[in-house]
Amino acid sequence: MAGSSLLTLLDDIATLLDDISVMGKVAAKKTAGVLGDDLSLNAQQVTGVRANRELPVVWGVAKGSFLNKLILVPLALVISAFAPWAITPLLMLGGTFLCFEGAEKVIHGLKARGQKKSPEIRQQRLDSLASQDAMAYERDKVKGAVRTDFILSAEIVAITLGIVADAPLLNQVLILAGIAILVTIGVYGLVGIIVKLDDMGFWLAERRAALARMAGKGLLVLAPWLMKSLTFVGTLAMFLVGGGIVVHGIPAMHHAVERWAAQGNALVAATLPVAVNLIFGFLLGCVVLLVITGIERLRGKPAH
């Protein structure tokens, strides 16, 4: 589950950086006319725009993650002491929100494909992005990534709390705080390295040593494919994590899946729970998205 949570965060940040880079390309096109209006991204085209915003974006989400855990750790201790029954329903709400966000990403991706094929729709999207304030747009997107982190952080805190539930209060506080700090530093340190792979590649490619140049060229090839892969796998992880939280919160469903898995061979036992979480998360996200879209249309707001 921890690996899926990391992929979900990476996906959120990768999507955010892609959106920011598109806005940067639009701005550059408006001012200098040197960049094309193709929405597809590659490392060399966006390096000059993305490089100076990559680490600030990661740092912005990391600060939000620290704040999330600063709120969640004492809140989890209070809930565990006075209303332990509320932990599972709250986690299920968070899991449902993750599934909804995953469904939104899928729909957004399908619409983006249509925009690439239609010059008119693509131009409308570019004009819409050009009319927005880049920094305000970035702040809004960072807030969205921090919201996703809040749910994943709650999951981590809840799991840790379950492990140390029988320990003295001081031990619980120290362990929860230590895990929260280590996880945040580890996750966003890794994210920072991943989003700077292209810059590392350019730096190595300019070295004199043949081995360094070869490694740099390899990183330049790897970086854009890695970011695209993370976007795809991370979206799947949103359904896997969110669906898994909700399935585990429904005892009858969770036990039924365990029984079905136990009746098969080792491969079935390993893959069936994952497949159920993934499919259930996707269906749940689509249902929530349809409900919210219907409500927004009734209220006269633009649909997602």
pLDDT band at 228 (very low <50, low <70, confident <90, very high): confident
Average pLDDT over residues 129-148: 72
The CA distance from 38 to 11, in Å, is: 22
What pLDDT score was predicted for residue 278? 92
pLDDT digits (tens, 9 = 90+) for 17-38: 555 444 444 333 332 322 222 2
| Per-residue pLDDT tens over the stretch 72-84 | 989 988 888 888 8
Give the dihedral sign, CA 158/146/73/233. Answer: positive
pLDDT of residue 256 exceeding 50: yes
Residue 130 has pLDDT above 70, yes or no: no
Residue among 66, 49, 64, 58 nearest 192 (CA): 58
Res. 290: pLDDT tops 70: yes
pLDDT score of 279 more than 90: yes
Give the model's pLDDT for residue 133. Answer: 65
